Amino acid sequence: RRDLLMLGIETSCDDTAAAVVRGDGEILSQVVSSQADLLARYGGVAPKMAEEAHALVIDQVVQKALDDAKLSESDLSAVAVTIGPGLSLCLRVGVHKARQVAKAFGLPIVGVHHMEAHALVSRLVNKDLDFPFLALLISGGHNLLVLARGLGQYIQLGTTIDDAIGEAYDKSARWLGLDIRKGGGPALEELALEGDPNAVKFKVPMRQHKDCNFSYAGLKTQVRLAIESKNLCTEDVPISSALEEDRQSRANIAASFQRVAVLHLEERCQRAVEWALKMEPSIKYFVVSGGVASNKYVRTRLNQVAENNGLQLVSPPPSLCTDNGVMIAWTGIEHFVVGRFEDPPADDEPDDMQ
């Protein structure tokens, strides 16, 4: 299995990423080209613009992943690529590249589900992590609680009924006038350290619903109202030039938002652990992954939930929590070794998705 060499390509959202991983999990290279700058300037992902940005760098990103691994395409065993969920215009850029490489070098292709990859990369990080396990996947577009019973066998315990937590972090950061060029989540996490988490009384979502679903749209609106009620013209006045008093008010809102946003996670996860243990009493691990899982406060609080229930928290390092090529390559390996892959495209097949 060590001889297996998998190239992973990821273009589902705003990062263009590629990596080469060995069958035993050794990471030979990892390259990410971020569009965060574009996002900060234009206020969100515009699919056409994101597609162009991916197309501009995809060849370089893949080439660098191969160079850093000191390999050429002909050394590879197969190519794994994200096929969804995500923006279809963006996904196409990655799939096109993967098919091009696969066709030219006669390599099999593994189509990878982005959220499965967020979950399974935890098995690269922790080699003892066997199925079944419980996973919370938190990113800009998804909030999922999943009972993973085996490869490809996932039971969804909860999902968001509106926004994902990452979206709430990103919008709140923007409204608070933060510098979001390195992402809204990290900027808000940093400001929250200066604030009082009990200063603003935000309502914890969905307490009356005794299930494992999530909702972040209401909390987002509460943040907006808190900003307006304090007359903080935050989008026009960046935090760097805010008065000291305004800065403190913003930090208090950030800290209070974070406390309630994460408390909502804690409450749903506690219930999900109980549900999961009823279905699979042998569960030992609680996986927390996806971009928001790189947040220190999130990790600390969810570690407590795991410990309270006798489970071990597994949360990949931040570079493997946010979108990356390693998780795609690794998930490709997991599928490849059990025979789940497609043959190389024939010479006369187009490189686009059919």
Interface residues toward ligand KG4, by CB under 6 A: 13, 139-141, 166, 169-170, 183-186, 189, 290-292, 294-295, 322-323
Burial of 236 (0-12, 13-18, 19+ CB in 10 A): exposed
In sequence order, the β-bridge partners of residue 294 are none
Binding residues for Zn ion, rule CB under 5 A, total 2
Q: CB of 227: closest distance to Zn ion in angstroms?
A: 28
Partner in contact with 183, chosen from ligand KG4, Zn ion, none, beta carbon below 5 to 8 Å by kind: ligand KG4
Q: What is the 3-state secondary structure (H, E, C) of 106-158?
A: CCCEEEEEHHHHHHHHHHHHCCCCCCCEEEEEECCCCEEEEEEEECCEEEEEE
How many Cβ atoms sit within 10 Å of the Cβ of residue 38? Answer: 18
**Is residue 139 close enough to count as binding Zn ion by CB under 5 A?**
yes
Could you tell me the sign of the dihedral formed by the alpha carbons of 65, 69, 73, 76, in that order?
Answer: negative
How far apart are the two ends of the chain, measured CA to CA in Å?
A: 31
Q: CB of 50: closest distance to ligand KG4 in angstroms?
A: 12
What's the DSSP call for residue 156? E
Q: Of 323 and 334, which has the nearer Cβ to Zn ion?
A: 323
Mind giving me the DSSP string for 310-328? T-EEE---HHHHSS-HHHH
The secondary element (H helix, E strand) that includes residue 198 is: none
Q: CB of 266: closest distance to ligand KG4 in angstroms?
A: 15
Partner in contact with 166, chosen from ligand KG4, Zn ion, none, beta carbon below 5 to 8 Å by kind: ligand KG4
Q: CB of 224: closest distance to Zn ion in angstroms?
A: 25
143 close to 118: Cβ distance less than 8 angstroms: no
Partner in contact with 332, chosen from ligand KG4, Zn ion, none, beta carbon below 5 to 8 Å by kind: none
Q: Of 22 and 142, which has the nearer Cβ to ligand KG4?
A: 142
Q: Of 291 and 332, which has the nearer Cβ to ligand KG4?
A: 291
Q: How far apart are CA 250 and CA 264, in angstroms?
A: 21
Q: Of 84 and 108, which has the nearer Cβ to ligand KG4?
A: 84
Partner in contact with 141, chosen from Zn ion, ligand KG4, none, beta carbon below 5 to 8 Å by kind: ligand KG4
232 SS3 class:
coil
Q: Of 32 and 65, which has the nearer Cβ to ligand KG4?
A: 32
Q: CB of 52: closest distance to Zn ion in angstroms?
A: 20
Partner in contact with 295, chosen from Zn ion, ligand KG4, none, beta carbon below 5 to 8 Å by kind: ligand KG4
Compute, in degrees rounded to 10, the torsion defined by CA atoms 162, 168, 174, 175.
80
Q: Of 30 and 132, which has the nearer Cβ to ligand KG4?
A: 30
Q: How far apart are CA 133 and CA 157, in angstroms?
A: 12
**Is residue 295 close enough to count as binding Zn ion by CB under 5 A?**
no
Q: Of 252 and 315, which has the nearer Cβ to ligand KG4?
A: 315
Q: CB of 16: closest distance to ligand KG4 in angstroms?
A: 12
Using CB under 5 A, which of the segments 143-151, 166-174, 225-233, 317-325 binds Zn ion?
A: 317-325
211 SS3 class:
coil
Q: CB of 255: closest distance to ligand KG4 in angstroms?
A: 13
Q: Of 149 and 182, which has the nearer Cβ to ligand KG4?
A: 182
Q: What are the start-end ranges of the H helices in the chain?
A: 36-42, 47-68, 88-105, 114-125, 165-175, 184-192, 217-229, 244-279, 296-308, 318-321, 325-336
Kindly state the tokens that stand for 102: 């696969």
Partner in contact with 325, chosen from Zn ion, ligand KG4, none, beta carbon below 5 to 8 Å by kind: none
Kindly tell me which residue out of 51, 167, 323, 334 binds Zn ion, with binding defined by CB under 5 A. 323
Give the footprint of Zn ion on this chain (CB under 5 A). 139, 323
